[in-house]
Amino acid sequence: MLDIQKIRADFPILSQKVNGKPLIYFDNGATSQKPQVVIDAISKYYQEINANIHRGVHTLSQLATDAYEISRGKIQNHINAKHSHEVLFTSGTTFGINLVANGFAAILKPGDEVLVSALEHHSNIVPWQMLCEKTGAVLKVIPMNEKGELIMAEFDKLLSKKTKIVTTNHISNALGTINPIKYMIDQAHAVGAAILIDGAQAVPHLKPDVQDLDCDFYVFSGHKMCGPTGVGILYGKEAWLNKLPPYQGGGEMIKEVTFEKTTYAELPHKFEAGTPNIAGGIVLGTAIDYMNEVGFENIQKQELELLEYGTKRLLEIEGLKIFGTSKEKTSVISFNIKGIHPYDIGTIIDKLGIAVRTGHHCAQPIMNHFNIPGTIRASFSFYNTKEEIDVMVEAVKRATLMLS
């Protein structure tokens, strides 16, 4: 059992007031809050070992390089990658997806097919559209049902020898649906296709085992799992990373440069051009240490309780409809009140110190499917409480009365 009050004390922002009310932060799907240990680690880097990495023989450079590579090793262990050089530091999930899509521009030809799920964030749609426009490949969409689940029978029909890469999120940011990615990975491989998993919404809730999943690429961001913004991870199988061309040219990613020819560095440096977010990379390891200390089994149990309790309480409100009712779901509740725009509810409850997300959540195709402008999204983390949910429910009731 988690000592929630002790955990909440680790997060200084949770003790503050917003609009004169205690902050209730239910926008964890957008970004998580940061524990003091992460905040302190950022400061410690800049106070004690700030230097560029991989390039200097002086002491600070060596210390910074060691800390950066130790963090890479922590992340390798966390996701169970076979090699540390399969773990690439990026600026976030979006960068990782674009890196892979750009690499496939050298592989795809007209008539090849890219499969993308209907549940995707725009970051996992637009790069593939751009890739198809560039190469003449065809983008095909795995459809969803009214519960917000991907229709596996249709996925199976779409797969063919023309399919070169499949891309899907592990968990939907807009609906909380947990996709059957192990099945999708196996089916993609059966037709010779690669598969990329967008794990941005998954890593705050579970530990992906990339070897067990057998995915070709897995991408995620640090800031959704108690880490800093501006840093993320692209895991790629060694064979695929060796096959793909570099995404950017510059320092660090080269072995030798002349004006006649450049040869590229070995993995992972081939894809890590320029000075990275050194502090972010180091501190992402600190954030993962913190979450493992809390324990992902404990996190999942707490968040499942919050999801079940929040769902029950919100459904007490007349005219409230929840979008995303998959049996396999994480701690996200997207809902609307009949006849009321989601933005209006969000604005009113913000005045009461409650942070939720309103809008299309960068998932407009999902909103188009349900023929709605957007939803109110309450996304819970392990540091949230049932008491906070009670306050939110009463606030939504109050806002509903005001707007009816």
For residue range 30-68, list pLDDT tens digits in order.
Answer: 999 999 999 999 999 999 999 999 978 899 999 999 999
Closest CA to 69 of 57, 58, 83: 83
DSSP assignments along 102-171, one per residue: HHHTTT--TT-EEEEETT--GGGTHHHHHHHHHH--EEEEE-B-TTS-B-HHHHHHH--TTEEEEEEESB
Q: How far apart are CA 31 and CA 110, in angstroms?
A: 38
Torsion angle defined by CA atoms of residues 148, 153, 156 and 157, in that order, rounded to the nearest 10 degrees? -110
User: Is residue 253 pLDDT above 80, yes or no?
Assistant: no
Mean of the pLDDT values across residues 108-122?
A: 98
| Distance in angstroms (rounded) separating the CA atoms of residues 281 and 53 | 11
> What is the reported pLDDT for 107?
96
Query: Would you state the pLDDT for residue 262?
Result: 77
**pLDDT for position 325:** 98
Nearest Cα neighbor of 233 from 396, 73, 8, 402 is: 73
pLDDT at 133: 98
Residue recorded with tokens 């390891």: 285
Nearest to 99 by CA among 66, 55, 78, 130: 130
* DSSP, res 298: H
pLDDT of residue 271: 94
Q: What is the pLDDT of residue 256?
A: 78
pLDDT of residue 257: 76
| Residue 365 scores a pLDDT above 90 | yes
- Average pLDDT of the residues in 379-394: 98
* Spatial separation of the C-alpha atoms in residues 359 and 247, rounded to whole Å: 32
Segment 309-319 shows an average pLDDT of 97
SS3 of residue 12 by DSSP = helix
Distance CA 364, CA 241 (A): 31
- Cα atoms in the Cβ-side hemisphere of radius 13 Å centred on 150: 28
CA gap 27, 358 in Å, rounded? 10
pLDDT at 251 over 80: no
pLDDT of residue 259: 83
Average of per-residue pLDDT across 83-112: 98
236: nearest Cα among 263, 217, 254, 253: 217
Residue 249 has pLDDT above 90, yes or no: no
| pLDDT tens sequence across 1-21 | 799 999 999 999 999 999 999
How far, in whole angstroms, is CA 250 from its chain's centroid? 27
Q: What is the model's pLDDT at position 404?
A: 85
Give the contacts of 296 (CB within 8 A, at least 6 positions apart): 205, 206, 207
What would the mean pLDDT of 375-384 be, rounded to a whole number? 98
User: pLDDT value at position 261?
Assistant: 78
User: Residue range 175-197: average pLDDT?
Assistant: 98
What does the pLDDT average to over 218-236?
A: 98
| pLDDT class of 263 with cuts at 50, 70, 90 | confident
Average model confidence (pLDDT) for the chain?
A: 96
* Banded model confidence at residue 185, pLDDT cuts 50, 70, 90: very high
Q: Evaluate if residue 108 carries a pLDDT over 80.
A: yes
pLDDT of residue 266: 87
User: Is 362 one of the catalytic residues?
Assistant: yes
Determine what percent of the chain is predicted with pLDDT higher than 70: 100
HSE (side-chain half, CA atoms, 13 Å) at 315: 10
CA-to-CA distance for 222 and 236, rounded, in angstroms? 17
Residue 42, pLDDT score:
98
**265 pLDDT band (50/70/90 cuts)?**
confident
Return the sign of the alpha-carbon dihedral for residues 200, 205, 207, 213: negative
> Which whole number is the average pLDDT over 285-312?
98
Query: Of residues 132, 215, 226, 362, which has the active-site annotation?
Result: 362
* Own/partner pairs, 302-305, CB within 8 angstroms, 24+ separation: 302/2, 302/4, 302/382, 303/205, 303/330, 303/331, 303/380, 303/381, 303/382, 304/331, 305/386
The answer to whether 356 and 315 have CB atoms below 8 angstroms apart is no
Residue 83 · residue 235 · CB < 8 Å: no
